[in-house]
């Protein structure tokens, strides 16, 4: 897919104050670690994630999506009446119905003619929403659209810890399927896209490439499960096969991406990938022949924040000056399924928020290569 009229105008985001380190998780997992004689520091060593964040208990995803959406609107400086589509794209939602986007739409004061709905596509939900909004803009059906989402990891992390400590049948081998659940973090992000005629930045979204290698759909499955008469949110992941399948899917999609964008790998000045962990990042960049020095990452201090991971990482890269005018930026998204979405952006101008969104503890955090 190629675009001539779409601009990636602005981001908004919000982050929790509560920090949960990998060391603290291992402390909570003391019964399991003692039973299996697991070495301390294992979780951070294999994931590259030293900490992740948690929203306050009982918070609804829409609450932070409203915050992030409002910040994106304010940063873009756009009249909300011009927004013709609102998509809520995170895995986490308030309810099965109505669409979480409805509450966000109401509190942002968006017009009644604004298309409003949820999109679910695992870690690609926000990027899939961006493609849908871009298509609406390219067709001339809307002037601007907002994609928002909030991931809340608390229930999954806490349920996983409880299940691991309670299951005395686990072995060093079988416990591997739960490790990915302990890397999940919480965050919220929003992305504003506009028609170039009303853009203040001219940050042109020029191309998109999409693939679905759905034969891998069983490699990562999560949902509500019965645990001894009570319900718990749990996820099972075959991390090794998911990594191999993800690399193959990413490579195939990237070849399409190069064709659609007209770039070569040397033309990619900046890359933003889905934030899984250290091994995934290293192997993905190697397979695509992209330099780690040109890639911005947040997983060491945010963990894997699902559908929010790539948008919030790009927002922070923009805010910290990592992305500069005339940079060719590759947004390289991948999610369980296995699905892949890659977007090409010709960056021209950064619209920065009026103030910092980050808790003080994060102000010193920098990207690592």
Q: Is the pLDDT of residue 71 over 50?
A: yes
Distance CA 254, CA 79 (A): 36
Backbone phi, psi, residue 92, to 5°:
-80, 135
Q: Is the Cβ–Cβ distance between 101 and 132 less than 8 Å?
A: no
Domain ranges within the chain, ordered by starting residue: 13-197, 202-352
Q: Is the pLDDT of residue 359 over 50?
A: no
| Residues in contact with 134: Cβ distance below 8 Å, sequence separation at least 6, in sequence order | 3, 6, 193, 205, 208
What CATH number labels 202-352? 3.40.47.10
Which DSSP letter does residue 293 get? G
For 222, the token pair is: 């999560």
State the burial class of residue 176 (Cβ atoms within 10 Å of its Cβ: 0-12, 13-18, 19+). middle
* Catalytic residue status for 123: yes
pLDDT digits (tens, 9 = 90+) for 90-125: 999 999 999 999 999 999 999 999 999 999 999 999
Q: What percent of the chain has pLDDT over 70?
A: 94
Distance CA 340, CA 256 (A): 11
What is the predicted pLDDT for the residue at 224? 73
Which DSSP letter does residue 140 get? T
Q: Is the pLDDT of residue 149 over 60?
A: yes
3-state secondary structure of 2: strand
- Section 43-72 average pLDDT: 97
The single residue of 123, 220, 273, 297 carrying the catalytic annotation is: 123
Q: Around Cβ 113, how many Cβ atoms within 10 Å?
A: 10
For 128, the token pair is: 């899939």
What is the predicted pLDDT for the residue at 240? 87
What is the predicted pLDDT for the residue at 358? 55
Report the DSSP pairing between strands 339-346 and 83-88.
Answer: unpaired
Check if 13-197 and 202-352 are the same fold: yes
Q: Is the pLDDT of residue 364 over 80?
A: no
The C-alpha angle with vertex 221 and arms to 218 and 222, in degrees rounded to 5, equals 170
- Section 254-282 average pLDDT: 96
3-state secondary structure of 79: coil
Distance CA 99, CA 101 (A): 5
Q: What percent of the chain has pLDDT over 90?
A: 86
Q: Is the Cβ–Cβ distance between 237 and 177 less than 8 Å?
A: yes
3-state secondary structure of 63: helix
* Catalytic residue status for 97: yes
Integer angstrom CA distances of residue 249 from 88, 245, 271, 304, 333: 25, 6, 17, 19, 11
* Confidence category of residue 218, pLDDT binned at 50, 70, 90: confident
Q: Is the pLDDT of residue 27 over 70?
A: yes
Q: Is the pLDDT of residue 139 over 70?
A: yes
pTM: 0.93
Mean residue pLDDT of the chain comes to 93
CATH superfamily assigned to domain 13-197: Thiolase/Chalcone synthase (3.40.47.10)
State the burial class of residue 363 (Cβ atoms within 10 Å of its Cβ: 0-12, 13-18, 19+). exposed
What is the predicted pLDDT for the residue at 368? 38
What is the predicted pLDDT for the residue at 242? 84
């Amino acid at each position: 897919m190629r675009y001539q009229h779409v601009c990636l105008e602005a981001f908004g985001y919000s982050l929790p104050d509560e920090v949960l380190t990998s060391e603290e998780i291992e402390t909570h997992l003391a019964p399991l670690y003692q039973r299996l004689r697991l070495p301390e520091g294992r979780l951070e060593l294999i994931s590259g994630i030293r900490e992740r964040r948690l929203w306050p208990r009982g918070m609804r995803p829409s609450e932070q999506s409203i915050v992030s959406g409002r910040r994106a609107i304010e940063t873009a400086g756009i009249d909300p009446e011009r927004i013709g589509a609102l998509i809520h794209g995170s895995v986490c939602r308030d309810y099965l119905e109505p669409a979480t986007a409805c509450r966000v739409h109401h509190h942002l004061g968006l017009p009644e003619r604004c298309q409003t709905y949820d999109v679910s596509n695992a870690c690609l939900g926000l990027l899939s929403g961006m493609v849908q909004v871009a298509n609406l803009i390219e067709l001339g059906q809307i002037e601007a659209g907002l994609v928002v989402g909030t991931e809340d990891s608390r229930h999954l992390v806490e349920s996983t810890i409880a299940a691991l400590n309670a299951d005395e049948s686990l072995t060093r081998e079988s416990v591997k399927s739960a490790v990915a659940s302990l890397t999940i973090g919480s965050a919220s992000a929003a992305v504003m896209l506009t028609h170039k005629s009303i853009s203040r930045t001219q940050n042109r979204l020029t191309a998109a490439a999409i693939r679905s290698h759905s034969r891998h759909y069983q490699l990562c499955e999560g949902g509500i499960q019965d645990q001894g008469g009570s319900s718990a949110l749990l996820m099972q992941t075959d991390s090794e096969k998911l990594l191999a399948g993800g690399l193959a899917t990413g490579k195939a999609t990237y070849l399409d991406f190069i064709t659609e964008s007209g770039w070569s790998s040397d033309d990619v000045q900046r890359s933003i990938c889905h934030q899984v962990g250290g091994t995934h990042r290293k192997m993905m960049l190697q397979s695509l022949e992209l330099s780690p020095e040109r890639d911005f990452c947040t997983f060491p201090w945010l963990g894997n924040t699902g559908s929010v991971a790539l948008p919030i990482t790009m927002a922070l890269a923009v805010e910290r000056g990592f992305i500069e005018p005339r940079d060719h930026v590759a947004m390289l998204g991948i999610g369980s399924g296995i699905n892949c979405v890659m977007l090409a952006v010709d960056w021209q101008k950064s619209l920065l928020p009026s103030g910092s969104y980050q808790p003080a503890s994060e102000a010193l955090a920098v990207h690592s290569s």
